[in-house]
Chains A and B, each alone.
Chain A
Amino acid sequence: MTQLEPATGRDTEVPKASAPRSSRSLPVDLRLALLFGVLVVIIVIGWATAPQQFLTESNLSTVLRLAAPSGVVAVGMTFVIISGGIDLSVGSVIGLASVWLTTLATQSYGPFVMVLCGLGVGLAAGLVNGVLIAYGRMVPFIATLALYIAASGLAERISGRQTQVVRDEDFLDFFRGDFLSIPVLIWIFAVVVAIGWVVLNRTTFGRRTFAVGGNAEATRLAGINVKRHTALVYGVAGLCAGLAAIMLAARTTAGASTHGQFYELDAIAAVVIGGTLLTGGRGTMIGTVIGVLIFTLLNNIFILNNLETDVQKIAKGVIIVIAVLLQFRANRARSTS
């Protein structure tokens, strides 16, 4: 079963879809190239409109640092969406984990326990999603929506709706520090993306994720424990959210139930403009990363030019539409050729 190829497109349901073939089997992926083009255009716009500030080391490092937590969340979300699901709870789970790891009790155990606590809460929340969806047969949208609501409530309860300042200097020193003159947060982002790419593309776990999203029934008939795999995929997303909570707690020097607000929407948007099918079965890690960078850069460029936030929201929406339309056209072009 390790030879199983990633299934693509639900050709049984969509007769006009292209012949089944892996996106990775193309030497040059047109969709990724187009997406990369969008990224380059945005960078050029940034450079042209704010030549003094944009391409400086401190600005780029700021952009990557700000992209890091949402990027980590989006990596987990990529797995979930490729497996044919969706996770609306990650934003609240970030809030919950950030609150849990910054309570006075947790902080009294030192930085190591704080990190374990963040990861543990994230993983546990993800597994709750996974078990409800895989074994409780709940629709992912509903199960994760329920946790979205419950987790934010629990976060508010634990924190008493107050901001919990991180006093542990070791925790702050490590996560806010630099390693080889690059911020640790950026290293974590890079390592998580690298691991995510390898797991998705070079391991049985990744191949099974594609298979489950492509055709769950066929995958089950092929002898794969689809339920367990689905549960684990949500566990991965939860773990990523827990890690993001740790990163946010370091970035803001505090934990709060409002941490991670709207991260689920940003992550889903980044994953989708990255070329991952919302119906599952196909997607790329690189696309997701580019998606995250596009959004973070956009915010940065708007602020560098001192533009109003309303214009920025319009631009964000337009970019989602353009990116998806471009990919749609690229798909059509490929399938008719």
Chain B
Amino acid sequence: MTDLPNLARRGFLLGGAAVGAGALLTACTSNQAPASNAPAGNVASGQGDNAQTGKMVTIGFSAPAADHGWIAAITKNAKAQADKFKSDVTFKATEGTNDVSQQIAQVETLINSKVDVLVILPFDGKALTSVGQSAMDKGIPVVNLDRIFDTALAYRTWIGGDNYRMGVNAGTYIAQEMKKKNISNPVIGEVAGIDSLPLTQERSKGFKDALAKAGFQVGPRVAAEFTVESGEKQTANLLQAAGKLDALWNHDDDQGIGVMSAIKTANRSEFIMVGGAGSKNMIDLIKADSSVIKATVLYSPSMSSSAIALARLLGQAKGMGDLAEHEIPASITTYSAVVTKENAANYADVAFDS
């Protein structure tokens, strides 16, 4: 330590530099776009008599933490829908959590505050079954969103997506495209999500079944983790495994940005790609038609808007306009439509920011 005399000065300079760097860095956290034109979420408008303001309904809402685009869109859509019906809906949302016991506590709080209807997207359907059932026992109808409870006794109505059909529709679309191109023995790749989740297994099974019906089979398959980074890594490896591909299905548009990046890096364009879920990014790319991605199969967070609309009708004891039944159905499965260049414009409103 020969530099003792200079230490104080050096410390001062370093400190100053640190403060300056800190100031620069904090200036960099803003994500405000110059002209914000974010979509306000897509909402149902209510038809016929159901559009009329009715009895006031208090809706309690509980969902997992919005740690990725899809769940974030679920929460946003629920709020937007409640806002749309603000003349007769009071919306009580809890902070999203991935802690099962915390979510149970939140739902119990909502029950105690005497909401009229509950909308619950459980982090884990099994774990929240009992609290759903206790709400039903107390006479509060529960709209179970997407991740289904263990028993139908725990919900009044279930609304959710169809993972199996998502795979089926992706497979069917790819099979059609292959037949159009007269490819008799195509190499079809698959970038799945987290393999241990039932939803991934259902998607993969649907995909496999649909391809099998057309006489094709799944070739190289990797599993990513619904993150951009894992999507890029696994796809980069997959592209090395398959020197030539004819088609590729990526389960999830959140990880799709990474998948697209890997394809760009490998400089590959000989195949068509289909996405999953329906993010704004991917639908924009499909519309532009300048890259390998040609379609995406929806698993749309718009189901959350519908869940709020259903909850309102349940609270007001109304049925659904066009159905003959006096009551809301016990289960509603949303359809995994295939979004292509041709119909992309129609689906701009259900696209979510990934």
Stretch with Cβ within 8 A of B (4 or more), from A11-19, A280-288, A303-311? A303-311
CB of B199 within 8 A of chain A?
A: no
Flag if A256 contacts B66 (CB, 8 Å): no
Contacts of B219 in A (CB 8 A): 306
Cβ contacts A218-237/B at 8 Å (1 or 0 each)? 00000001000000000000
In the assembled complex, the CB of B232 is this many whole angstroms from the nearest CB of chain A, namely: 5
Q: Contact partner of A256 among B229, B238, B241, CB < 8 A?
A: B229
Cβ contacts B225-240/A at 8 Å (1 or 0 each)? 1011111111011111
Query: 8 Å CB contacts to A: which residues of B11-47?
Result: 18, 21-22, 24-25, 27-33
* A63 to B182 CA separation, bound complex (whole angstroms): 34
CB of B223 within 8 A of chain A?
A: yes
CB of B93 within 8 A of chain A?
A: no
Q: Contact partner of A53 among B32, B234, B241, CB < 8 A?
A: B241
* A243 to B330 CA separation, bound complex (whole angstroms): 53
Flag if B28 contacts A163 (CB, 8 Å): no
Flag if A254 contacts B25 (CB, 8 Å): no
Flag if B225 contacts A251 (CB, 8 Å): no
Known: A163-B228, A259-B229, A303-B237. A105 touches B69 (CB 8 A): no
Stretch with Cβ within 8 A of A (4 or more), from B154-162, B167-175, B258-266? B258-266
CB of A252 within 8 A of chain B?
A: yes
Flag if A253 contacts B261 (CB, 8 Å): yes
Flag if B236 contacts A105 (CB, 8 Å): no
* A151 to B219 CA separation, bound complex (whole angstroms): 39
Cβ-closest chain A residue relative to B71: A161
Interface extent on B, as a size class?
Answer: 35 or more
Flag if B68 contacts A161 (CB, 8 Å): yes
- Chain A's interface: helix, strand, loop or mixed, by majority? helix
Contacts of B230 in A (CB 8 A): 261
CB of A34 within 8 A of chain B?
A: no
In the assembled complex, the CB of A184 is this many whole angstroms from the nearest CB of chain B, namely: 12
Cβ contacts B311-346/A at 8 Å (1 or 0 each)? 000000000000000000000000000000000000
In the assembled complex, the CB of A33 is this many whole angstroms from the nearest CB of chain B, namely: 29
Flag if B257 contacts A105 (CB, 8 Å): no
CB of A10 within 8 A of chain B?
A: no
* A101 to B234 CA separation, bound complex (whole angstroms): 24
Contacts of B229 in A (CB 8 A): 248, 251-252, 256, 258-261
Known: A105-B28, A258-B227. A252 touches B236 (CB 8 A): no
16 A/B residue pairs, CB under 8 Å, sorted by A: A66-B233, A100-B28, A103-B30, A104-B32, A105-B27, A117-B28, A120-B21, A120-B25, A162-B69, A251-B261, A253-B257, A253-B260, A259-B229, A303-B237, A306-B220, A309-B195
Sample of 12 further A-B pairs with CB below 8 A, known A103-B28, A165-B281, A258-B67: A53-B243, A62-B240, A65-B265, A104-B32, A105-B27, A117-B28, A160-B31, A161-B66, A253-B261, A253-B264, A259-B229, A304-B240
Q: What is the interface of chain A, defined by CB distance below 8 A to chain B?
A: 50, 52-53, 56, 58-59, 62, 65-66, 100-101, 103-106, 109, 113, 116-117, 120-121, 124, 156, 158-165, 176, 225, 248, 251-254, 256-261, 299-300, 303-306, 308-310
Q: What is the interface of chain B, defined by CB distance below 8 A to chain A?
A: 1, 18, 21-22, 24-25, 27-33, 66-69, 72, 195, 219-223, 225, 227-234, 236-241, 243, 254, 257-258, 260-261, 264-266, 281, 353-354
